[in-house]
């Protein structure tokens, strides 16, 4: 039996990193201003770490769209696996060539295209889909601000067209002559 409403529990779960960052920053500022000596000096880096954790927590909370969608997502050592009611599959983060947000499907889906042109579609609200934030953030050159803004606009509007969020650029070949 819980004394906290399920909606409040979900909100606390969603914002847990941002709240932890705020608490850590407050503790760091308190130590810096309230104590002198070594504890005071340790407080400032602690406050900085709290601010950084808070920023990442806000980004993660914005990325989390719920857990009431179809299927389950698991991420293990860079391998994204989706177990869906009708389909599923897996893709390695190192093999992803293109990341697409498809708002036309209901619910909207992340579409990951790998090097062999295999496609993995994962609903944005599948159970465990919030863990995709770290996997996507590890893609070279991905701007998380664009990822989050496209996700929000894709969730708010009806219809729309699939949007390429990130694409791996081919290795540039040095074409200068050697002789």
Q: Are residues 145 and 102 in the same domain?
A: yes
The range of the structural domain enclosing residue 44 comes to 6-63
Helices (H) and strands (E) in the chain, counts: 5, 7
Q: Are residues 110 and 160 in the same domain?
A: yes
Within-domain flag for 179 = no
Q: How many domains does the chain have?
A: 2
* 0.85 exceeded by pTM: no
Q: Are residues 15 and 59 in the same domain?
A: yes
Q: Are residues 78 and 51 in the same domain?
A: no
Within-domain flag for 85 = yes
Q: Are residues 59 and 98 in the same domain?
A: no
Tokens found for residue 144:
């998380």
The residue ranking higher by pLDDT, 145 or 64, is 145
Residues 25 and 47: their CA atoms lie apart, in Å, by: 4
Within-domain flag for 103 = yes
Q: Report pLDDT digits (tens) over 10-44.
A: 788 888 889 999 999 999 999 998 887 888 889 99
């Amino acid at each position: 039996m819980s004394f906290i409403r399920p909606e409040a529990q979900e909100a606390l779960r969603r914002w847990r990193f941002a709240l932890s960052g705020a608490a850590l920053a407050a503790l760091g500022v308190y130590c810096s201003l309230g104590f002198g000596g070594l504890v005071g000096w340790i407080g400032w880096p602690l406050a900085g770490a709290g601010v950084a954790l808070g920023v990442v927590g806000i980004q993660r909370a914005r990325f989390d769209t719920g857990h009431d969608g179809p299927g389950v997502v698991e991420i293990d050592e860079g391998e994204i696996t989706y177990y869906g009611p009708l389909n599923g599959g897996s893709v390695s983060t190192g093999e992803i060539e293109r990341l697409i947000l498809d708002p036309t499907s209901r619910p909207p889906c992340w579409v990951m295209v790998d090097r062999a042109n295999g496609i993995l579609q994962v609903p944005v609200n599948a159970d465990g889909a919030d863990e995709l934030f770290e996997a996507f953030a590890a893609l070279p050159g991905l701007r998380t601000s664009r990822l989050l803004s496209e996700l929000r606009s894709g969730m708010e509007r009806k219809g729309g067209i699939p949007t390429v969020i990130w694409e791996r650029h081919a290795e540039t070949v040095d074409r200068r002559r050697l002789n």
